[in-house]
Amino acid sequence: MSELVTFTIQDGVALIQVNNPPVNALSPGVPEGIEDAINQAESRPDAIAVVLSGAGRTFVAGADIHELELAAWGKGAGGPDLHGLLQRIEDCAKPVVMAIHGTALGGGLELAMAGHFRVAVKDALLGQPEVNLGIIPGAEGTQRLPRLVGVEKAIAMCVSGKPLKAQEALAAGLLDAIVEGDLVFDAAAFARERAKRGGPYAKTRERHDKLGSQQQNASLFAAGRETARKTRRNMLAPLKAVDAIEAAATLPFQEGCRRERKLFAECLESDQCKALIHAFFGERSVAKVPDVPKETRAFMVHKAAIIGAGTMGAGIAMACVNAGIPVLLKDSKQEALDSGMANIRRNYEISVSRGRFTPELAHQRIAMIHPQLDFADFDSADLVVEAVFEDLELKKRIFAEVDKVTKPECVLASNTSTLSIDEIASACSRARMVVGLHFFSPANVMRLIEIVRGQSTSKEVLATATGLAKRLSKVGVVVGNCAGFVGNRIMFPYMYEAQFLVEEGATPEQVDKTLTDWGMAMGIFAVDDMAGIDVAWRVRRELQHFSEPGVRRPLVADKLYELGRLGQKTGAGWYRYSEDRKAVPDPEILRLIRQTAAQAGIPQRPLTSQEILERSLYALINEGAHVLEEGFASRASDIDVIYINGYGFPAWRGGPMFYADTVGLRNIYGRIVEFHRQMGARWQPAPLLKRLAEQEKTFRAFDAERGMGAATVRS
Ligand code: 3HC
Ligand code: NAI
């Protein structure tokens, strides 16, 4: 037997175990090993049944994504061809029981569905997340899944990519039993019992009872396509997954498999697949901080204290208790504390009403948050997160106080979005314990945290922060301490360029629509209104944007501020807002823009979508190249991860730097040089972009050459 798959016989049951850490992916050797083991199990007279399980932390988490990546870039075979293996398992004369713990995902679930029975522990997850990688299930999952759970559920699983919890999987017919004791032991007992009842054992591929009639299914496919278009806008794979499930319901099994294979290959060749696999590995590489070795000791976080019960403090408190970390929530004013707790309660009530939490669970979570006005018990906290107003003096005062009331090994974090972590750290005696934890709003929902490394932040504190992000189910990206850190720093040139476009003749809704049609979750004017026109105004002053002579400054945004049109919160900003916060274009704004432009002598002209996209996105990319070269981001892919998880950048375009690679850095550099010539200083090309363009290289290659590449394919 190969080392990747082990085989033993115990009490009449052949135990096959996949042992391919970390997640038992179906890498070369694993499918072959399983097939050998099945052959052996069938031929051994001392085994009456078979149990297949995964060693370590999980069952099988799918095909090896490294292999898929190679194939997507035309450098490999295209993932494992499991057809023969799955058929072999189904045809086994002895009952094959799949014993699932951890996750059975993608090819893992496809493998499990070829077994005659499936049992799982109660916290197992089963799903077809392939759409998140820009592909569809490619090992007959679109053919077997509807046979087990019905067409409607299969569509929902393959389009959303969301896994089912064991209990849901049992109810849907994907599992035969949930076991409470030792998984393999109980699965073996189950298998023995089935063997004693005798065969033949049901083959999933021969089942038709849940496939429904053409008439019943027509509306399901139409609804599935509608959901795919709405919830996974502009993505190819979810629609192709529906096509493949339709094939399952209308064609014989083998033909359906052929159709699936063809659709899978089409997805694998797409740019979306390359981009999404890039995003997958990018997300996994952020925790690998170049000079912080894996073995670095992290501080244990058993309790957190949060200062400031406003928008961010309340959200961070929820994120912590949702991860099982009890919280002391301190504010300086009773009304602010009450309002923060009321917001938290309201949030949990909404979750209960949507069926996400039971009332008991919501109650337990709220009870883990202790509201207070003083520093009582702060000496028991392992982490403090400061989330008071964005005011440097106030933050410094708080850090000086916190320094005195916490234990020396307590990590002190600030949620500042613009201020210098080093300045804040200078107020206390242990700058090495200070770090920025820049959560995004709403903090209990948004996945991104920028972990801001100050000049003295210790490696242990960074390891604690990256570990904490993971524990909170977030993506923590370590960034340097520059103005605006990485995300906001590169957002401002993008936002201002959009404003210049509007001053030259475009409208906010035209720019926003161009951006959302292209794939952004929100247009930049809608973002500005949501964050608050006053916030950007303050940033412009604090960060001294436009202090350099000769650099054009946006004119209308300041006028909005002066008019008190601060965005959603005042019912008007770039847009006017109805009761339900729907943005409505406002003729008054258009008048203001045109008047301002006329006064400033800015000529008006129609702007094309292409110019809107190039100018706004290339401004983002150029600043990204500056940030990368200056070392405030470790990798180009870190910028991609930040933009996908914090700024609504479409994951299927891979993030701004990956997108730049797909356009070609030479092309982008060429356009920026032209913009520089036409529009002056703000378009100064980033030296790194110039260098890479001249060398015909990509940002991915730049990451790889420095040993920072997240991916298998370097190009
Ligand atoms: N192939 C190769 N490597 C994988 C992998 C896979 N399917 N899944 C995870 N890994 C690697 C990660 O890159 C990471 O490597 P690293 O330590 O070198 O960075 C390591 O395993 C651990 O991964 P996570 O940090 O994500 O670990 P978690 O415990 O947080 O999560 C998980 C585990 C839920 C399994 C998560 O890794 C995950 O969602 N994996 C992807 C699952 C997936 O998409 N499966 C479908 C693959 S496509 C497919 O099967 C096609 C088929 O239809 C033919
Ligand atoms: P907020 O105004 O909603 O809340 C601030 C809270 O701090 C208020 O409840 C206030 O009473 C409290 N506070 C003020 N002084 C205090 C003191 N001395 N001791 C204890 N509590 C005190 O502000 P918000 O939006 O929550 O922002 C907080 C921090 O988070 C700021 O630094 C901001 O830049 C940052 N941030 C904000 C984001 C947002 O979208 N709102 C996003 C990311 C970071």
Token digits of residue 600: 């400033």
Closest Cα to atom 39, ligand 2: which residue?
441
Handedness of CA 144, 176, 119, 2 (dihedral sign): negative
Closest Cα to atom 36, ligand 2: which residue?
417
pLDDT bucket at 561, cuts 50 / 70 / 90: very high
- Cβ of 23 closer than 6 Å to ligand 1, yes or no, is yes
pLDDT bucket at 711, cuts 50 / 70 / 90: low
Query: What's the whole-model pTM score?
Result: 0.95
Question: Which residue type, as a one-letter code, is found at position 204?
Answer: T
Percent of the chain residues past pLDDT 90, beyond the cut = 92
- Cβ of 22 closer than 6 Å to ligand 1, yes or no, is yes
Tell me the CA–centroid distance for residue 61 and ligand 1, in Å.
6
* Residues ≥6 apart with Cβ < 8 Å to 592: 556, 559, 560, 563
Token digits of residue 438: 């820049």
Q: Per residue in 169-205, pLDDT tens?
A: 999 999 999 999 999 999 999 999 999 999 899 999 9
The Cα-based distances of 217 to 160, 161, 172, 220, 249 in angstroms read: 19, 21, 17, 5, 8
Token pair 């077994």 is found at 115
Q: What per-residue confidence (pLDDT) applies to 81?
A: 86
- What atom of ligand 2 comes closest to residue 337's alpha carbon? 9
pLDDT bucket at 713, cuts 50 / 70 / 90: low
CA distance 100 to 119: 6
- What atom of ligand 2 comes closest to residue 313's alpha carbon? 26
442 C-beta neighbours (distance < 10 Å), count: 16
pLDDT at 712 over 80: no
pLDDT at 16 over 80: yes
Closest Cα to atom 20, ligand 1: which residue?
22
Q: What per-residue confidence (pLDDT) applies to 77?
A: 75
- Cβ of 103 closer than 6 Å to ligand 1, yes or no, is yes
295 C-beta neighbours (distance < 10 Å), count: 6
* Residues ≥6 apart with Cβ < 8 Å to 379: 405, 406, 407
User: What positions carry a catalytic annotation?
Assistant: 110, 130
Handedness of CA 555, 561, 562, 568 (dihedral sign): positive
- What atom of ligand 2 comes closest to residue 388's alpha carbon? 7
Q: Per residue in 65-119, pLDDT tens?
A: 999 999 999 987 767 789 999 999 999 999 999 999 999 999 999 999 999 999 9
Q: What per-residue confidence (pLDDT) applies to 340?
A: 97
* Residue range 5-18: mean pLDDT, rounded: 97
pLDDT at 641 over 80: yes
Tell me the CA–centroid distance for residue 24 and ligand 1, in Å.
9
> Taking phi first (over 0 means left), then psi (-120 to 50 degrees means alpha), and beta for anything else, what does residue 207 get?
beta
Q: Are 624 and 639 in contact (CB under 8 A)?
A: yes
Q: State phi, psi for 88 to the nearest 5 degrees.
A: -60, -45
Among 166, 164, 150, 254, CA closest to 206: 254
CA distance 655 to 283: 11
Q: What per-residue confidence (pLDDT) applies to 261?
A: 96
Q: Determine the number of helices (DSSP H) and then strands (DSSP E) in the chain.
A: 30, 19
* 98 bridge partner residues: 52, 118
Closest Cα to atom 12, ligand 1: which residue?
284
- Ligand 2 site residues, Cβ closer than 6 angstroms: 307-313, 330-333, 336, 387-390, 394, 398, 415-417, 438-441
Q: State phi, psi for 328 to the nearest 5 degrees.
A: -100, 125
Q: Per residue in 377-386, pLDDT tens?
A: 999 999 999 9
The Cα-based distances of 554 to 191, 546, 681 in angstroms read: 71, 9, 14
Reported as half-sphere exposure (CB side, CA atoms, 13 A), residue 57 has a value of 5
- What atom of ligand 1 comes closest to residue 141's alpha carbon? 53
